[in-house]
Structures are given as structure tokens and as C-alpha cells.
């Protein structure tokens, strides 16, 4: 029987610009869980333990966030995005 590993789309990204575009697309989705899943994929490619150590976020808590079992606080999101070199730009020109 053939065994397949789950696909992590972030592993197919070659540079920070592609990572940022991947996350921007996920962020713009109407479902916020899509962004958390995409961010989780990026974190996994960088190494969960390394990111937990770098951000000083408990690895167990980070795992719960990535798995969708826990909602991250803005402080946690800010730490993760800052340490992964993710920049968020706000476009105020959009009309409601």
C-alpha cells in the first residue's frame, strides 16, 4: 500500500515574496480559518520548535493554534508575523 504525506503548500514557496503573496491571499479569504491554516503551514516549514523558541510562545499552545483548536490573540499573531517577516498593509481606499 502506498503511503502519502499531507501536502504543505508552503513547502512549494521559494522566497519571502511568494510566502507573503500566499498569506495575503489567505488573509483576504472570507473565512479567517484559512489564514490561520496558511500561517500554520508557513510555521511548519520554518520548524515549529524553532518558531516557538524564537517567539517565546509555548510550543504546545502554538500546536493548538495551528490545528485550529485555539484562537490566537492579536499579540500572538503579531509575534508570529513579525518573526516570520510578514508585513501586513492596510488599504483604506476600499469602499464599503
Average pLDDT, the chain: 86
25-37 pLDDT, tens digit per residue, is 998 899 989 999 8
> pLDDT-derived band of residue 17, with 50, 70 and 90 as boundaries?
confident
How many domains would you assign to the chain? 1
> pLDDT-derived band of residue 87, with 50, 70 and 90 as boundaries?
confident
* Alpha-carbon span 93 to 63, nearest angstrom: 36
> pLDDT-derived band of residue 7, with 50, 70 and 90 as boundaries?
low
Domain range for 41 is 30-86
Q: Considering the domain boundaries, does residue 77 fall inside one?
A: yes
Q: Considering the domain boundaries, does residue 6 fall inside one?
A: no
Q: And the C-alpha cell for 18?
A: 511568494
Q: Considering the domain boundaries, does residue 65 fall inside one?
A: yes
Which CATH number is 35's domain given? 1.10.260
* Alpha-carbon span 61 to 74, nearest angstrom: 14
> pLDDT-derived band of residue 76, with 50, 70 and 90 as boundaries?
very high
Q: Considering the domain boundaries, does residue 40 fall inside one?
A: yes
Q: Considering the domain boundaries, does residue 73 fall inside one?
A: yes
35-70 pLDDT, tens digit per residue, is 998 999 899 888 999 999 999 999 999 999 988 899
Q: Do 42 and 22 touch, CB atoms closer than 8 A? A: yes
Amino acid at each position: 500500500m502506498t503511503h502519502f504525506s499531507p501536502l504543505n503548500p508552503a513547502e512549494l514557496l521559494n522566497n519571502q515574496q511568494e510566502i507573503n503573496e500566499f498569506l495575503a491571499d489567505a488573509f483576504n479569504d472570507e473565512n479567517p480559518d484559512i489564514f490561520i491554516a496558511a500561517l500554520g503551514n508557513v510555521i511548519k516549514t520554518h520548524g515549529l520548535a524553532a518558531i516557538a523558541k524564537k517567539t517565546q510562545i509555548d510550543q504546545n499552545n502554538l500546536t493548538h493554534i495551528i490545528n485550529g483548536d485555539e484562537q490566537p490573540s492579536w499579540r500572538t499573531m503579531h509575534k508570529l508575523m513579525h518573526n516570520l517577516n510578514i508585513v501586513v498593509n492596510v488599504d483604506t481606499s476600499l469602499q464599503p
